[in-house]
Amino acid sequence: MKETPILAKINSPADLRRIPEKEIRTLAGEIREYLIDTVTKTGGHLASNLGVVELTLALHRVFDTPNDRIIFDVGHQSYVHKLLTGRRDRFDTLRTPGGLSGFTRREESEYDPFGAGHSSTSVSAALGFARADRLQGRDNFTVAVIGDGAFTGGMVHEALNNCGKDLKLVIVLNENEMSISRNIGAFARHLAKIRTSKRYRRAKRDTQSFLRHVPLIGKGIYHAVRGIKKGFKNLLYSSNYFEELGLYYIGPVDGNDYGTVERALIAAKEQGEPAIVHVRTVKGKGYPPAENDPRSYHSVHPGDAPERTFSRAFGEWLAKEGERDPKIVAVTAAMGVSTGLEPFAERFPERYTDVGIAEEHALTYSAGLAAGGLSPYVTVYSTFLQRAYDNLLHDVALQGLPVRVIIDRAGLAKSDGPTHHGIFDVAFLSHIPGIRLFAPITFGSLFAVLEAVKNHPGPVAVRYPNCGEDPAVVSAFYPDGNYGAPFVRSDGERDPAAVIVTYGGLVREALKAKEALRAKGVAVSVVLLEELKPYDETALALSRLIPPGVPIVFAEEGIFDGGASMILSERLSEILSPVPSQKILAIRDEFASPDAPCDLLARLGLDAASISCAVLSLFDH
């Protein structure tokens, strides 16, 4: 790693504020070198962080953090913020269980006032902080930093509509990908430069003060002049969405020019009312590969990513199926690339919809498509599906509409942590009437499930983890390549002393546990569930694979309460006689968020060793 002498001196924003401004450009270069060297090894969000270096430096120099608060939307662009706030010595633990989070986290630092991970929450949270300060007589500033992509989330606009004039709130809109504002060229840039100048701000304050203090007619003149000014500006500049909401607007300004950003933030700070600072930054700034292809460098992997994932396999299947069936449409909420929809989007652009960061809308929109006679497939991360629970329950399931919900990133997200763990979807989907729920864990069974349900008249959910196919799983459950129903399968062990029942990616640990137990002279069978709901049918199929009286260990990479293991254990107790001893390994009433480096599966009692111990414990009773 290259030397970073200026960065090495910064252990807090107070140190940053002592750095002469003439050294800021050099410091920005050091930070970029540090990010490139570190993140390409640990994995993480690179392009977005390279783009916000100058902006983050200016934020911490203009505002008095941590007394003033900076809230990063999503938080994936907070790496520079972490480096400047005393976390540089732990940066090599980034995105590891118990290490530095890839997002902001309250437990991690006093400089992280609000945890993130999901999008479009920052303005609402910042508004809450600002109102809390106002009501309690505090004089802090609260700053929300939000990207243009997050502005597609409706929650942002609900919050903007709720802003009051009396709040010390600054919203930084970082435009780095899409053009939100109309491109108005040199005049807009000139106007932004005027509005951020000290002379302009001083003249504005003096004029306002003078007019307001003229006896009897001063206030009337002030409001008249302000109205004329606004009308003239709108005539030349076009009406501004933010100012129509009563927010003071500054921008657009060059977000990669430190001096320009600093002046804009100072101007916003001096307004005495909520302000929007609109900056434009370049994703991947300073690293040509990321500048030229910011999409590929949005999130980089440490080098062990599989060549073919379930996302990619699904996308390939959907594109081929789209050729056969013109009624198939694909819907995603800003995750088209990540969920494998690129082939479909390229082939059928008119049948592909990316609704932006609006999962609720994606589900209800898909309900409308289905009611209109089409066959919608909605791709969504497990953790983001939580946002659309109401829409799935009322708009899809209640009406029995044939929407296929393809749930990506199911299971523990070891790199991204608790905000991204896909451990709740099985529990909350399990109590929705009429929905069918599948968990294929081989490519062949994924295709078989998709074929089996493509004409199903009601809602279907298909979940899979962010990984590739494991040959050991294929050989254990599909040795003859015979995919398709039944989707509840045993590995064929004869006369087992115990049975391990599991689903999803955790089947790999179950198979390892089986081998470990075999070495100890204990024969067990592993039953793989690739269909979960309807649970009555699954429990009946499962009961046929369990010899009388043989104890059962359920292993579930999901929450215990309301999970598949809890439900199936209850059903089997009603079916089997005698009722066998049963033990459930699942995540118990927590968000799976360790506070020290660890093997996450071992910490949760879900690794092969824990499964083996659970099996052996059943023989001790």
- 203-212, pLDDT tens digit by residue? 556 555 655 6
Residue that has been written with the tokens 């546990």 in this structure? 513
Residues 70 and 121 in one domain: yes
- Classify residue 75 as left (phi > 0), alpha (psi -120 to 50) or beta: left
User: Is 2 part of a structural domain of the chain?
Assistant: no
Q: CA 408, CA 378: separation in Å to the nearest integer?
A: 10
- Give the closest residue to 485 by CA, choosing from 537, 557, 524: 537
Catalytic residue numbers?
283, 359, 387
Comparison of pLDDT for 485 and 402, the residue scoring more: 402
User: Is 239 part of a structural domain of the chain?
Assistant: no
Residues 37 and 147 in one domain: yes
Mean pLDDT of 404-408: 98
Average pLDDT over the chain, rounded to whole? 90
Query: For residues 67 and 77, is the Cβ–Cβ distance under 8 A?
Result: no
User: Is 200 part of a structural domain of the chain?
Assistant: no
Residues 288 and 320 in one domain: no
The number of folded domains in the chain is 3
The CATH number assigned to the domain holding 418 equals 3.40.50.970
Q: Which of 428, 463, 498 is the last residue of a domain?
A: 463
**Per-residue pLDDT reduced to its tens digit, 332-377:** 999 999 999 999 999 999 999 999 999 999 999 999 999 999 999 9
User: Is 79 part of a structural domain of the chain?
Assistant: yes
Residues 320 and 278 in one domain: no
**Per-residue pLDDT reduced to its tens digit, 423-471:** 999 999 999 999 999 999 999 999 999 999 999 999 999 999 999 999 9
Q: Whole domain around residue 523: which residue ranges?
A: 490-618
Mean pLDDT of 129-136: 96
- Contact residues for 253 (Cβ-Cβ < 8 A; gap 6+): 189, 192, 196, 260, 261, 264, 277, 278, 279, 280
**Phi, psi for residue 77 in degrees, rounded to 5:** -105, 25
State residue 217's pLDDT score: 59
* Eight-state DSSP code of residue 99: S
Residues 321 and 282 in one domain: no
Residues 277 and 355 in one domain: no
- Contact residues for 352 (Cβ-Cβ < 8 A; gap 6+): 329, 330, 336, 341, 344, 345
State residue 405's pLDDT score: 98
Q: Which of 447, 463, 479 is the last residue of a domain?
A: 463
User: Is 22 part of a structural domain of the chain?
Assistant: yes
User: Is 54 part of a structural domain of the chain?
Assistant: yes
User: Is 194 part of a structural domain of the chain?
Assistant: no
- What's the Cα-to-Cα distance from 422 to each of 143, 208, 382, 556, 587, rounded to whole Å? 30, 54, 5, 12, 12
Mean pLDDT of 14-28: 96
In 463-534, which ranges are continuous DSSP H helix?
Answer: 471-477, 507-519
The CATH number assigned to the domain holding 511 equals 3.40.50.920
- The pLDDT-based confidence of 297 (bands split at 50, 70, 90) is confident
State the Cα angle at 359 between 353 and 365, rounded to 5°.
Answer: 50
How far apart, in Å, do the first and last CA atoms of the chain sit? 57
Query: For residues 379 and 408, is the Cβ–Cβ distance under 8 A?
Result: yes
Q: Which of 292, 318, 353 is the last residue of a domain?
A: 292
State residue 185's pLDDT score: 43
State residue 344's pLDDT score: 98
Residues 422 and 546 in one domain: no
- Give the closest residue to 531 by CA, choosing from 499, 492, 483: 483
Percent of the chain with pLDDT over 90: 78
- Contact residues for 470 (Cβ-Cβ < 8 A; gap 6+): 441, 442, 507, 508
Residues 261 and 360 in one domain: no
Residues 270 and 314 in one domain: no
State residue 117's pLDDT score: 86
Q: CA 72, CA 116: separation in Å to the nearest integer?
A: 7
Helix, strand, coil tally for the chain in percent (to 5):
45, 15, 40
User: Is 137 part of a structural domain of the chain?
Assistant: yes
**Per-residue pLDDT reduced to its tens digit, 226-268:** 555 444 444 434 457 888 888 899 989 999 999 999 999 999 9
- Give the closest residue to 378 by CA, choosing from 366, 388, 393, 386: 366
pLDDT at 566 over 70: yes
Residues 536 and 439 in one domain: no
Residue that has been written with the tokens 């015979």 in this structure? 482
Residues 379 and 413 in one domain: yes
Residues 90 and 139 in one domain: yes
Q: Is the peptide bond before 66 cis (omega within 30 degrees of 0)?
A: yes
